[in-house]
Amino acid sequence: MIKNNLFSFILGCALIFTSLLLPQVLQAEVPSIKPWFKQAVLLKSYQQSFDWLTPWEKREIRTQTGMALVVRLPLMKNSETAGTFQNQGLHLLTTAEMVADATLLEVTRKNIRQPFQAKLVLMDYAANLALLNIEDSNFWDGLKPIEWSPVKSKSKADTENIYSFKIKSTQEWEVESGTIELMTVGHRGVSDAWLPLLKLSGISKSGQGFPLLQDNETVGMILEAGKDGAKAIPTQMLIEFLAHAGSASYKSLAHRGFSWRRLPQRSTADYFQIPQELPGIWISRILPYGTGSDVLQRGDYLTKIGKWPLSHDGKIQHSEWGLSLFDLLFLDQLKVGDSLELELIRDGKPLVLPTRVSAYEEDGRTVPLKRVGHPPRYVIQGGFLFQELSLNYLSMWGANWRTRAPVRLRLFLEQNKTVLMDDNFKRVKAESASKNTEPATRIVLVTQVIPDEINIGYQKLSNAIVLRINGQQIRRLKDVSEAFLNPEMEFHRIDFLPGSDRLSVVLTVAGLKQSNLRIKNNFRIPKLQSY
C-alpha cells in the first residue's frame, strides 16, 4: 500500500513537471530585449511634402515614429557613406517611407533622454530602404552593429515562431510574437518594383524599421504592420543593399527588366509562333532597366531563366521556398553583375541569349513614378502653370486617384506611352516606352491658370497637354522657357492636344513681363520657375 502511494506520488510529480516543461520545449526561446538597447534606436521624423497643385508651397508637417537598426557598411575607398567618424562605418538602417521628405530626424537611445539629430545619407525609395548617420560621436558609444542571418523557411527553421517588438514608450520595450506565412514577391506601386517580401501574421504592434527575429537571430526588417499582419524585407535583400551602399556609386537591388503576362489567348500564341503547351511567359513590355532589358523584345516567349524553367504563371521551383514567382531568384540566387542565360522563343525559333543580372534604376519613363526629396519642377508664364505629368501630381487626387484623376492623364501613366504628333494634328500615335525612347521626353501640361488680366477667358483651363509653344514642339519642361524666348510676331501661341478645353491660346508679348511680376507679387510666389 505504501509502495503504491509512493509510486503514485512520484508519477504525479513527473506529470506535473512534464506539463510545466513541455510548452517551453515546444515554443521558441523568447529573445531578450536588453541586447537590443545597443542595436536599435527609436526614430521620429518630421515630414513635409510638397504640394504639387501649388508647387511653390509645402503641405502641413506630419510626424512618424519607428525604429532604426545599427548596421555596419563595408569600408570602401572614395565612398561618401563609408564612415568618416570614429564609428568605423556604423550607420542606421530604416525604411525610406520613414524619412522621405523629412525636415528633421530625431533619434533616441534607450536611457538617454536627449534625442540626437540624424542626417539622411542614402535613400532607395524603390526598395523602401534608407541609411542615416549621426555626426555626434557620443551617440555611437556602446552601440553594436546587427549580425544578420538568412531567413529560413518553415521546413528548415527550428520553430515557426518569429518575433519583433512593440514599443509602449521610450523606456518600455516588449516582445511580440507571430509566424511567417510565406515568402512572396511584393509589388511596390509607387516605384513599379517587384521585390521579395515576407508576409507575417500575429505581428501588429511593431512599426517601420523594427527588427524581425527567428531562432533568436535577426532575419529581416519590418516595413509595415497592422491588424491584418505585417510585411518585412528579408535579410538577404538588406545585406545586398548595405553592400551597394558601401560602394562608391550606389546601385539598387537586382530586378527584372520586363513586364510579362500569361498568353492572353491562343491566337496570340499562333501570331508569335509559340508552340502549344510549352510552359513560359509572354513578354509584354521591355523596361529601360533591369535584367534582360538589353536582349529581350516585346513578344518574346520566355521559358527559362538560368537553370530554372518557368511555368505558365511565371513560377519556378525554389530550393527553399518551393513554387514561387521567378523574382524570388533575386533573393539569393542571382546578384547584380552575375552572368545569366535566358531561353526563349522568338518568331517561332528557340534562342539562348546571354545577359547579366542588373538593378532597378530611375528610368526614362514618359510619366515619372513617385519621387521624394526633390521639389516640383514648374514654369509660370502669364499665369499659365506648366508642369510635367508625374505620379506625384496624380496623387493629388487622393488615395483613390486611380479613379478620381482625369482619365486622359491616368492613361499616360498606366500605359507608359509616349505621344507623338504630326504638325497638323492629323495623327495621334502611341508607342510603348523602350530603349529607343528619349529618356528626357515628358508629358508637359498646363495644370491651372493663375488669374490675371492677361489671361481673362482662359482661367478655367486645366490639365491641358501642351504640344507646341510658338511653333516649337514641347517635349520637356525646359522647352517651355526656351519657346517663350521666340514669340510669333506680337503674340505667344500655345497649342494643346485635341481633347483639351481649348486647342490653342494666345498671350500678348508686350504685357507678359508685367503680368509675371504682378502674379509673383499678388500670389507671393518665391520664383516663377523651378527646375
With 0-12 CB in 10 A as exposed, 13-18 as middle and 19+ as buried, what is 151?
buried
Digit-coded pLDDT (tens) for 381-390: 999 999 999 9
Q: How many CB atoms are located within 10 Å of the residue 81 CB?
A: 20
Where does 161-245 sit in CATH, by number? 2.40.10.10
For residue 366, the model assigns a pLDDT of 84
For residue 81, the model assigns a pLDDT of 45
For residue 500, the model assigns a pLDDT of 87
For residue 418, the model assigns a pLDDT of 35
Digit-coded pLDDT (tens) for 282-327: 999 898 899 999 999 999 999 999 999 999 999 999 988 999 999 9
For residue 79, the model assigns a pLDDT of 45
Looking at this protein, which amino acid is placed at residue 261? R
Select the CATH number that applies to the domain covering 378-530 from these four: 3.40.50.300, 3.50.50.60, 3.20.190.20, 3.40.50.720: 3.20.190.20
Strand stretches in 227-291, DSSP E: 229-234, 258-261, 281-286
Cell of 365: 519613363
Q: What is the architecture, at CATH level 2, of domain 258-356?
A: Roll (2.30)
| Chain centroid offset of residue 437 CA | 23
Select the CATH number that applies to the domain covering 34-140 from these four: 1.20.272.10, 3.30.450.90, 2.30.30.760, 2.40.10.10: 2.40.10.10
Q: Please report, for the chain, the start and end positions of each structural domain, with discontinuous segments joined by +.
A: 34-140, 161-245, 258-356, 378-530
Using the 8-state DSSP alphabet, how is residue 74 labeled?
P
For residue 415, the model assigns a pLDDT of 64
Residue ranges in the chain modelled with pLDDT below 70: 1-28, 75-88, 157-159, 363, 415-440
Indicate the pTM of the whole model: 0.84
Closest listed residue to residue 280, CA positions, set 269, 294, 292, 295: 269
For residue 435, the model assigns a pLDDT of 44
